[in-house]
Amino acid sequence: MTAVSCREVELDTEHLQLDKSIGRGFRFAIVLTAVTLIAEVAGGFWTNSLALLSDASHVFMDLLALVLSAAAIILANFPATDRRTYGWHRAEIFAALINGVTLFLISGGILLEVWERIQSPEAVRSKEMLIIATVGLVANLLAAKGLHSHSKDDLNVRSAFLHVLGDAIASVGVIIGGIIMLYTGWYVVDALVSAAIALIIVWGAVRVLREAGHILLEGVPRHVNLEELVAKVRAVAGVNGMHHLHVWSICSHITALSAHIDIEPDSRLRQGEIVGEIEQMLEHDYHINHSTLQGECSSCLSGPVIQQLRHRKRSSLCSHGHGSHSHGH
């Protein structure tokens, strides 16, 4: 077995272990979230608490988000085909996008109900509400703990983690509101807590949608500094320059890069070695594990570092026949 194939087997093993670890966290979170939903729906109607029912609606959408996220992990393991050469890895980002949109819908529904309750406050069983909210808080914290370890580097997990964390914060608000109402009888607090929950939801939605949109628009990943990357490539012996550079994320765990490497004429015989050295640097320093590098002689006309893509008519491209693979040199 060659060194390359050994490395591929090692990466596949790491990928499977990562997915199994994330999958366990999702299953644990789904069970706890389902239990919390049942408790808060029943408790919300029993205690007449808008805060509990608002949190229950949030929990319901969180359960949907967790199921979508878990499904995205399963889809990501489907093999690449001649129709989908990247496989289903983008399903992760699609699930995160759906989660972010649902968060906005939830907040709008809650705020409408809050307005009605502020105008006409209703009595709430404060003690019972307090107990149910405490149970919900414990369940949310346990679910968040199961997802936290992978939430920093996986957008799909992060969006689900934010859902669960938002629930935990909301439960704290419900508990505080329950204590205030228990001792003061000021029932408008129930509506105010619900409004705070809605604002928390909006905050989480903005973050998720912004990052999901950045990936879908093929934006440069946050952990990649292009100026620094180009400088490191140019510092490799035998490299004269770099142009037609593109860096993008396929999903949270896969960063891709394509570029033309301008190689000195005296180093042309070392092209494979130079490209291999650059690939190792890209993977080690920037976690770019999918790179396509085209070596060129420095006597060629080099383009800009960042290539500007332009639309072309399909018919005009086809009319050139073979060799229409143009990069605008």
pLDDT at 11: 45
CA–CA gap between residue 125 and residue 53 (Å, rounded): 13
| Predicted local distance difference test score (pLDDT) of residue 298 | 57
- Looking at the structure, give the CATH architecture of the domain made up of residues 3-216: Up-down Bundle (1.20)
Q: How far is CA 148 from CA 15, 33, 153, 265, in A?
A: 18, 15, 10, 51
CATH architecture assigned to 226-318: 2-Layer Sandwich (3.30)
3-class SS at 59? helix
Q: Do domains 3-216 and 226-318 have the same CATH topology?
A: no
The burial class, CB within 10 Å (0-12 / 13-18 / 19+), for 181 is buried
DSSP string over 71-97: HHHHHHTSPP-SS-TTTTTTHHHHHHH
Maximal C-alpha separation, the chain = 85
Chain position carrying tokens 């050295």: 277
Q: What is the pLDDT of residue 307?
A: 65
Domain borders along the chain are 3-216, 226-318
Blockwise average pLDDT, block size 10, the chain, 329 residues: 48 49 71 87 85 79 76 78 85 81 82 84 82 86 75 66 78 86 86 83 82 90 92 93 91 87 89 93 91 76 67 58 43
Could you tell me the pTM of the whole model? 0.68
CA atoms of 312 and 303, how far apart (whole Å): 19
